[in-house]
Amino acid sequence: MQLREYTPSDCAQLAELFYQTVHSVNAKDYTQEQLDAWATGEVDLQAWDKSFRAHRTIVATENGEIVGFGDMDGSGYLDRLYVHKEHQWQGIASAICDELERFAVGKTFTTHASITAKPFFLHRGYCVVRQQEVIRRGVALTNFVMKKEPEDKMMMNIPNPNAVFPNEYKTSCFIKNVVTAPNITVGDYTYYDDAADPTGFERNNVLFNYPEFGDHLVIGKFCQIASGTKFIMGPANHRISSATTHPFNVFGGAWTENTPPHMVQLPRKGDTIIGNDVWIGRESIIMPGVKIGDGAIIAAYSVVVKDVPAYAVYGGNPARFIKERFDAELKDLLLRYQWWNLEPEKLVEVLPLLCDPDLEKLRRFLREQLTD
């Protein structure tokens, strides 16, 4: 696919592409009466050519055939954006928008998006200003006034991962900013929620942590840890290879003199590793050495003693498998895409899809992104 500037000889082809796209791609969201009012097949080519030349107009071609176009005026208003019905979901609309926006850096972009196009623009970081009814040839059509702020303005509004409290309520804190132990690592935007004292996470929720023992607690990005959750570290264990489990050595005197050093006898479970975007329910307990995969959910009041796979739901005491969150393909796509590693401004663009219960829409997007 190639992009080029508009030429007047393109005008008739763009008008035909507009008509065909409206009557095919938009047919799932509008009635035939609405489609006929929107695209009649009769276009004032002279007026269209004049507006195309007044705007910056980009044309997409494939093997010499026009497969899409878009135009934006000097204020940042995206007037038209259409892609041939046989070339949907190939990144053409995104490429056209990228090119148009590249020449309008610093502007607030606006558009009037159809019901069909709304998810695309949400994915690109636009927000809905209002829904409206427009009248075409006496027929009402629904569309959405949408806008996208400049990236520098967007960045000012993105929560700061280096802040202790992400909002004014101060019941949740980004815990990477309050832990001090050298063997605890926490990723950006992972929070602990506790109305009493969220900043006391390391003191109140990571138990028996003695860094000299050698184990680590590693928590990924964007995890959600509910109040009362406890992470039990390796020194909490007792010797189980002998007749007694009592830790005589730590109490001093003749007991210490006549027993091996406490730490060297403890079982080694290894590091406790929590993936990214993991939700751990209220008052759950994570035992030493457990590995919890990306996107997993731990039900409230669970005791996790074994590893939990990515995007699985576990619960109970001991925690057992409850269900998979997604099918194998979608899970694989999410693990390959790794949205938690996106740059902050890119994440803002993708958030509407990540938070949309229409998983098929997300699936199509991920397929497109991972095949580009």
Q: 106 is in which domain, residue-wise?
A: 2-156
The answer to whether residues 167 and 74 belong to one domain is no
The answer to whether residues 131 and 170 belong to one domain is no
CATH of the domain at 25: 3.40.630.30
Q: Taking the CB of residue 118, how many other CB atoms lie within 10 A of it?
A: 20
The answer to whether residues 125 and 231 belong to one domain is no
332, part of any domain: no
Q: How many domains does the chain have?
A: 2
281, part of any domain: yes
The answer to whether residues 246 and 205 belong to one domain is yes
Q: What is the pLDDT of residue 152?
A: 56
Q: What is the pLDDT of residue 284?
A: 98
353, part of any domain: no
Last residue of a domain, one of 108, 131, 156: 156
The answer to whether residues 162 and 176 belong to one domain is yes
366, part of any domain: no
236, part of any domain: yes
18, part of any domain: yes
The answer to whether residues 137 and 248 belong to one domain is no
The answer to whether residues 206 and 316 belong to one domain is yes
- Distance, CA of 29 to CA of 48 (rounded, Å): 25
The answer to whether residues 53 and 136 belong to one domain is yes
The answer to whether residues 103 and 130 belong to one domain is yes
The answer to whether residues 171 and 229 belong to one domain is yes
SS3 per residue for 79-107: EEEEECHHHCCCCHHHHHHHHHHHCCCCC
269, part of any domain: yes
The answer to whether residues 173 and 242 belong to one domain is yes
Non-local (6+) Cβ contacts of 62 within 8 A are 1, 2, 87
- What is the reported pTM? 0.60
CATH of the domain at 297: 2.160.10.10
Last residue of a domain, one of 126, 156, 186: 156
The answer to whether residues 184 and 288 belong to one domain is yes
Last residue of a domain, one of 156, 187, 220: 156
Q: What is the pLDDT of residue 103?
A: 76
Q: What is the mean pLDDT of each run of 10 residues along the chain (372 residues)?
A: 95 96 95 95 93 95 95 93 93 92 81 93 86 93 89 66 87 92 94 94 96 94 98 92 91 93 86 98 98 98 98 98 98 97 88 93 93 73
334, part of any domain: no
Catalytic residues: 238
Q: What is the pLDDT of residue 344?
A: 86
- Distance, CA of 273 to CA of 242 (rounded, Å): 29
